[in-house]
Amino acid sequence: MVVERPAINHDTIRLFCSASQPAIKLCLVAALLFSVMSMVILSYYTSSSYWHGFVREPPQPSFQCHSIKEGFTKTKVGINNIHTSSEKLRFDPKVLVFLETQYSRLGKHICEILEASRTKYKVEISGKSLPPLTNHDKGKYAVIVFENYEKYLAMNKWNRHLLDKYCKEYNAGIIGFLHSKEETFIGAQLSGFPLFISTNHQLQDYYLNPSSSVLRLTRAGEVYYGALPSGDWTVFKTNDSSYEPVTWSRPQQFAPVNSDDLIPFLTTVIQDHGRFDGIQRVLFGNGFEFWLHKLLFLDSVSWLSHGKLSLPLYRYLQVDIDDIFVGEKGTRMKPVDVQALLHTQEQINNLVPGFRFNLGFSGKFYHRGTEEENEGDDILLAHHSKFWWFCHMWSHTKPHLYDNISVLEMEMTMNLQFAQTHGIKTDSGYSVAPHHSGIYPVHEILYQAWKHIWNIRVTATEEYPHLRPARYRRGFIHRNIMVLPRQTCGLYTHNLFMDRYPGGADRLDKSIEGGDLFHQFVYNPINVFMTHLSNYGNDRLALYTFESVIKFIQCWTNLHLSTLPPIQLAEKYFQMFPEESNPVWVNPCLDKRHLAIWSSKKACNQLPKFLVIGPQKTGTTALYTFLSMHPVIVSNHPSGETFEEVQFFNGNNYFKGLDWYMNFFPIPTNSSSSYMFEKSATYFDGELVPVRAHALLPHAKIVTILISPIKRAYSWYQHMKAHEDHAAVKYAFYEVVTASDNAPKILRDLKSRCLNPGLYAQHLERWLAFYPPSQLMIIDGEELKGDPAIVLNRLQQFLKIPSFIDFTNKLRYVPQKGFYCQVTQQNSTKCLGHTKGRHYPPVDPLAQKFLKAFYLSSNIALSKLLTRLRLPIPQWLEDDLS
8 A C-beta contact, residue 601 and residue 662: no
The H-or-E segment that residue 45 falls in is helix 21-47
8 A C-beta contact, residue 493 and residue 455: no
Give me the helices (H) in 422-564, please. Answer: 444-449, 505-512, 516-523, 541-556
Return the amino acid letter for 720. M
What radius of gyration do the chain's Cα atoms show?
36
What is d(CA 786, CA 790) in angstroms, rounded to the nearest whole number?
10
Return the amino acid letter for 661. Y
**Catalytic site residue 617?**
yes
State how far Cα 666 lies from the chain centre: 32
What is d(CA 340, CA 323) in angstroms, rounded to the nearest whole number?
18
What is d(CA 212, CA 270) in angstroms, rounded to the nearest whole number?
10
Angle at 309 between CA 308 and CA 310, to 5 degrees: 100
Return the amino acid letter for 360. G
Q: DSSP letter at 176? A: E
What is d(CA 534, CA 337) in angstroms, rounded to the nearest whole number?
11
8 A C-beta contact, residue 513 and residue 521: no
Catalytic: which of 294, 308, 551, 617?
617
State how far Cα 26 lies from the chain centre: 69
The residues, ordered by sequence, that sit 6+ positions from 739 with a Cβ below 8 Å of its Cβ are 731, 747, 748, 751
Give me the helices (H) in 88-139, please. Answer: 105-116
Q: Is the dihedral of CA 298, 299, 305, 306 positive or negative?
A: positive
Give me the helices (H) in 665-813, please. Answer: 689-696, 709-722, 726-730, 733-737, 745-755, 760-768, 781-786, 788-799
Nearest C-alpha neighbor of 148 from the set 117, 104, 196, 185: 104
The residues, ordered by sequence, that sit 6+ positions from 205 with a Cβ below 8 Å of its Cβ are 223, 224, 225, 226, 228, 249, 250
Q: DSSP letter at 452? A: I
Return the amino acid letter for 213. S
The residues, ordered by sequence, that sit 6+ positions from 234 with a Cβ below 8 Å of its Cβ are 178, 179, 180, 197, 198, 199, 201, 268, 285, 286
Taking 3-state DSSP, the helix, strand and coil percentages for the chain, each rounded to the nearest 5, stand at 40, 15, 45
How many C-alpha atoms does 52 have within 13 Å on its Cβ side? 16
What is d(CA 582, CA 320) in angstroms, rounded to the nearest whole number?
25
**Per-residue b or e along 474-506, where b marks 16 or more CB atoms closer than 10 Å to that residue's CB:** bbbbbbebbbbbbbbbbbebebbbbeebeeeee
For the chain, the distance separating the N- and C-terminal CA atoms, rounded to the nearest angstrom, is 125
Where in the sequence numbering do the catalytic residues fall? 617
